Structure 1
């Protein structure tokens, strides 16, 4: 099946977006648009708008943005192809014809879904019958109510090699083996996979049973037995309880990833419906992406024992290459030897809620782990810590976040092993350069700074950043790596970036006046003075009377935006071109994600700009 851009455009054109969204969201007419309280985050004042003419929705509060297909994938949680099929059916459009192999695969999957649904029904009936007395006793001891057991579809598989096979005989042994319900070894007769276990259905995002987890009743190994991978079940791409947690996560504004089924069930019973769990494997990139579709900073709450904390650290390392501005992880640390199930049963909901409020950011978890990895009493050990931190930051793909992590790790390292400050001694602007010292840059070219494009940077923002660095020279060290990469930029801005970096390399204990003095000796006095004029640039960090702490924070944010903008713009152009060529799900998803990133960058930059009355104070 090939979904061409023309077909997708026709599908969007035939789908009134307000009608689609209005099925689950109460919309109010607002001129040519509709508005509502955003379904993607909690708010009291409507900031979510739907525009039928342009075919998109947008939230000015959380930046949620998309078309009809994105609504189905993000809000309904459907896979891309399922979303297209459902919209096409409603619009009266015929899907492009499948090839024979794809049609056979779809028909086989339909039969597997039906077999799994009937198996789940069999297990539930046996839990509630005479055979399930011992399993019901296990649930009672763990505090799981009948209502919770029904909500999660819990069941029981008798300790028999053939009862399920007999009950589902109409499907045939071959399909039941393919579904993972039977085991067949060589040419021997197949037998039931799950025997003498409490049965926990695993469902896809549409709520269809695709696999099972079985917990042993009494003694026995393994304690938990999962279905094998099947045409329906890819455990590395599946999260337990995702179907129930999606809506709850959007309402709560958070999602909690825990280790096991029973943790999820216990948390849901305690009122935390936004909990999910991986399926007996370390958290995968695909599972992390699933979490990030729901919230920007998922909470990982693994067991408090050594194994649980190691699993949390593995997840941190796996997530690091994929974090982006605003997208990260946070970690909830449980008391040693406890899991979420233990905590809510013994200490109640409030105790767990209190731990969630103390979640540890990803950067803190990584820093603490590396500092605790070995004693730091020798120069070699300190150098090893510095190298490990640099390697961790280097794995981050997104340039602006990588720059921030590099600077943050460097700042923490310097603070941990702080040396007494050096006394500042001015250097001559000419004459031989001392070894390792500062070399005055060549005078800038005559071309005016205003309007010069340097290395794809936004010139206005680049000038503002330069002015901020001159105002707050201590911040240069935080961003030395990214600023150093701008030294090769063409034009006057590139020359001035080079000069500022070289000044800081010569002496880290500079103040703004000393920076201006040294720049003046190198021919940058006019340019630097122009940048610092009170009315030149509308940012707090370029003004002499701004609050110092806020100005430094705003400057750091401006540098992150400055570096990220050209990268995102280039990637967005490439994704748009790819979507025009093949109309693939991957290109569509990439384009939407990059569009959202671009809007977020623009919003972040707008938040840094002073209002007109603030600019005119002088």
Structure 2
């Protein structure tokens, strides 16, 4: 519908803004204006002002600003055209005439709305009457107060095939069928006069309302035995269950105050939460959350909280919602998930522990990315390399469904991080090693000792290179763990780094991937540091393009050589002492041969180590 600026200006002029806002919050006269505590953020001292002359409101605390129409769309959550219609009705202003087809459709919808409201009025009367005694007893047993019963419009449909039809006899039966209140049985051969009958029979009734608070459908719970336990209206011109959320009309205003919306599984959960003071709850209508319902939730808040029962059905519902949300994600827009303990639902938890217990249960929700990870993690065995590869493939496929490229990239990075945290190097280990790399690199750069200390400097660089190599080929940790533990490291940073690698090998017996690669892939790593880490990779056994088998062999060999060098001097001194103690006449030939063999092995190891560390020495000399 096209609305002219002149019509909208007239509508604003006929609307007293302070009176409109005063229907929702308490306002006080303050000179020529009005003031109130802002409904868009929590505050104790009023900073929200209303100016009737200029026709706008403004909050000096959060910056909220607008006119009567903006109030209806922002605070009430109404679509623009619905906000205009409601204001026009209140102001006695006729809406511009739509085209004939739209007018007929609007008139038809008005009749269906009237029929649904008439049915709601009748259901409420039946609950208060003699036939509603069993339904009232059920509500009392559930702990539903009279105030809550009236607020949510509880009613009762007697166990009869024609009482509602009779009560609404002023409406055409075809309209009542179209509104979902009556069922028209199909024609049978030879019979064309089958009468429609009441859809809801022997049920506690709850009205389902649209965002404007108009009754558009019903949900009915069986009283006593019978199936189905819950019965909803069918889809009608007013009601599309895949686009509707139960309690949306009440939750809209509450969600704007709390900046939170909680999605639960059923009507009674919503009612129990509202009775406990948590009014920003909604529920889907007997189906898994649809794309339309998710989009509606994101119009209310950026990150709705999905609260599911702690049973198998609840977990399946959470999984479906997570996967359905992925393609729709946008920057800043996501979902949080809560699974209630011990198979409880919100109603159970409220009864057992009150609102505080429920708030505690949802205080630490799972982000959507963790929900998807847990779901895919449970789909297969991850005890083998093939199983872990399958997990990586599955989460990569899920990330690929995300349409927004920025969000998709972040999910890919997050899935890599979750995989490494569980099966490889944990995040704190990756962060610690990054720190060790930086600290030990700076130690080397800042060392300005004389040339006489060159041997110590080279020793430190070789041992640092060994630790970098182990970060590239962590499988060597399992074959040379004892040798590594026995090595003496010359600095505190190198000692801490060594302890971390050994501890990681004990904690996770399947470290297969390169920690250096993970560090370099980390999107949070500053570019200069990424270049520095790449520059550090000088030894052949931790080059990314090296032959893996040869590199692992060389790395193990260097560890053994370093351990030999560490033990060489004390062992040589012991042999010399034994030889000198006996003198020339008593020299032991075996000890002498051991002495010569030790020196020869030292010479061979020195030569081999020179080959392996040539790049490091060249780097030192160039510096």
TM-score by length of 2: 0.63
Q: Give the secondary structure class of the aligned counterpart of 1:156.
A: strand
Instruction: State the partner residue of 2:361.
Output: 355
- Structure number with larger C-alpha Rg: 2
**Is the 1:11–1:87 Cα contact (8 Å) retained in structure 2?**
no
Cα separation, partners in 2 of 1:183 and 1:343, compared to 1, 3 Å: same
What is the DSSP-based 3-state SS (H/G/I as helix, E as strand, rest coil) of the residue aligned with 2:341?
coil
Q: CA deviation at 1:161?
A: 0.7
Contact persistence 2:40–2:257 (CA under 8 A) = yes
Partner of 1:330: 336
Q: Which residue of 2 aligns with 1:208?
A: 214
Matched, 1:276 2:320: no
CA shift in 2, pair 1:478/1:84, >3 Å: farther
Describe the superposition over 1:522-578 as per-residue Cα deviations: whole angstroms up to 9, x where unpaired: xxxxxxxxxxxxxxxxxxxxxxxxxxxxxxxxxxxxxxxxxxxxxxxxxxxxxxxxx
Counterparts of 1:572-611 in structure 2 under 5 Å?
none
Q: 1:138-157 maps to which residues of 2 (within 5 A)?
A: 138-157=138-157
Counterparts of 1:275 and 1:372, CA distance in 2: 30
Whether 2:117 is the aligned partner of 1:81: answer no
Among 463, 477, 491, the alignment partner of 2:521 is 477
Contact 1:477/1:504 (8 A) holds in 2: no
**Is contact 1:240–1:279 with CA below 8 Å preserved after alignment?**
yes
Q: Deviations over 1:171-226 (max 9, x none)?
A: 12111111111111234111111111111111122222111111111111111110
Specify the SS of the correspondent of 1:171: coil
Q: Which residue of 2 aligns with 1:223?
A: 229
- Kindly state the Cα deviation for residue 150 of structure 1 after the two structures are TM-superposed: 1.9
- Aligned CA distance change for structure 1 residues 117 and 28 (closer, same or farther; 3 Å): closer
Q: Distance in 2 between matches of 1:374 and 1:32?
A: 69
Q: CA deviation at 1:43?
A: 3.1
- Give the aligned partner of residue 587 of structure 1: none
> How far off is 1:164 after superposition?
0.6
Rate the CA distance shift 1:348–1:170 in 2: closer, same or farther, 3 A.
Answer: same
CA offsets 1:470-514 (integer angstroms, 9 cap, x no match): xxx99862339xx9xxxxxxxxxxxxx9x979948957989xxxx
Report the CA distance shift for 1:105/1:264 in structure 2 as closer, same or farther (over 3 A).
Answer: same
Considering fraction of residues, name the structure with more helix: 2
Of stretches 306-315 and 48-57 in structure 1, the one that deviates more from structure 2 is 48-57
Higher mean displacement: 243-252 or 14-23: 14-23
Superposed CA RMSD in Å reads 3.9
Counterpart check, 1:244 vs 2:288: no
Q: Gaps (5+ residues) in structure 2?
A: 442-516, 539-623
2:603 corresponds in structure 1 to none
Task: Provide the rounded CA distance (Å) in 2 between the counterparts of 1:63 and 1:289.
Answer: 26
Q: Structure 1 residue 103: deviation in Å?
A: 0.9
- The answer to whether the 8 A contact 1:283-1:315 is kept is yes
Q: Give the whole-Å Cα distance in 2 for the aligned partners of 1:378 and 1:362.
A: 27
Name whichever of 229-238 and 143-152 sits farther off.
143-152
Number of the residue aligned with 2:267? 261
Contact residue 474 and residue 509 of structure 1 kept, 8 A: no
Among 292, 303, 306, the alignment partner of 2:309 is 303
Q: Within the alignment, does 1:168 sit opposite 2:212 as a pair? A: no
Does 2:127 match 1:127? yes
CA contact (8 A) 2:17 2:68 kept: no
Q: Is the 8 A contact 2:179 2:236 kept in 1?
A: yes
**Structure 1: distance between partners of 2:232 and 2:29:** 50
Distance of aligned partners of 1:343 and 1:109 in 2 relative to their CA distance in 1, 3 Å threshold: same
Q: Which residue of 2 aligns with 1:118?
A: 118
The alpha-carbon distance between structure 1 residues 389 and 135, as it changes in their structure 2 partners (threshold 3 A), is same
Deviation at 1:261, TM superposition (A): 0.9
1:193 to 196, 199, 209: 199
Change (3 A) 1:198 1:14: same
Deviations 1:405-434 (A, max 9, x none): 2222222223333369799999xxxxxxxx
Contact 1:17–1:56 (8 Å) recurs in 2: no
Counterpart residue number, 1:450: none
CA–CA distance in structure 2, aligned partners of residues 153 and 129 of structure 1: 15
- The answer to whether the Cα contact below 8 Å between 2:15 and 2:87 also exists between their aligned partners in 1 is no
1:442 corresponding residue in structure 2: none
In structure 1, distance between residues paired with 2:219 and 2:134: 18
Change (3 A) 1:38 1:138: same
Task: Identify the structure with bigger relative contact order (alpha carbons < 8 Å, sequence gap 6+).
Answer: 1
For residue 263 of structure 1, give the secondary structure of its aligned residue in structure 2. helix
How far did 1:350 drift?
Answer: 2.5
Q: Using a 3 Å threshold, how does the CA distance of structure 1 residues 59 and 387 change in structure 2: closer, same or farther? A: farther
Aligned residue for 2:297? 291
Instruction: Name whichever of 40-49 and 121-130 sits farther off.
Output: 40-49
Q: Do residues 417 (structure 1) and 461 (structure 2) align?
A: no
Question: Within 2, Cα distance between the matches of 1:33 and 1:393?
Answer: 53
Q: Could you tell me which residue of structure 2 aligns to residue 234 of structure 1?
A: 240
Question: In the alignment, what sits opposite 2:618?
Answer: none
Which stretch of the first structure deviates more once superposed, 415-424 or 29-38?
A: 29-38
Cα distance between partner residues in 2 of 1:504 and 1:396: 33
| Cα shift at 1:271 | 2.3
The corresponding residue for 1:38 is 38
After superposition, where does 1:390-539 map in structure 2 within 5 Å?
390-418=396-424, 477-479=521-523, 503=531, 506=534
TM-score, with length taken from structure 1: 0.63
Shift in CA distance, 268/91, structure 1 to aligned 2, threshold 3 Å: closer
Cα 1:69–1:350 shift into 2, 3 Å: same
Deviations 1:415-464 (CA, angstroms, capped at 9, x unpaired): 333369799999xxxxxxxxxxxxxxxxxxxxxxxxxxxxxxxxxxxxxx
Distance of 1:121 and 1:407 partners within structure 2: 55
The CA distance in 1 between the partners of 2:152 and 2:95, in whole Å, is 34
Report if aligned partners of 1:11, 1:88 keep a CA contact under 8 Å in 2: no
Deviation string 1:263-311 (CA, Å, 9 cap, x unpaired) is 1112222222222111011112222233223322221111111111110
Q: 1:15 to 1:402 in 2, by over 3 A?
A: farther
Query: Is 2:350 the partner of 1:344?
Result: yes
Number of the residue aligned with 2:545:
none
Structure 1 position 323, deviation (Å): 3.2
Q: CA deviation at 1:238?
A: 1.3
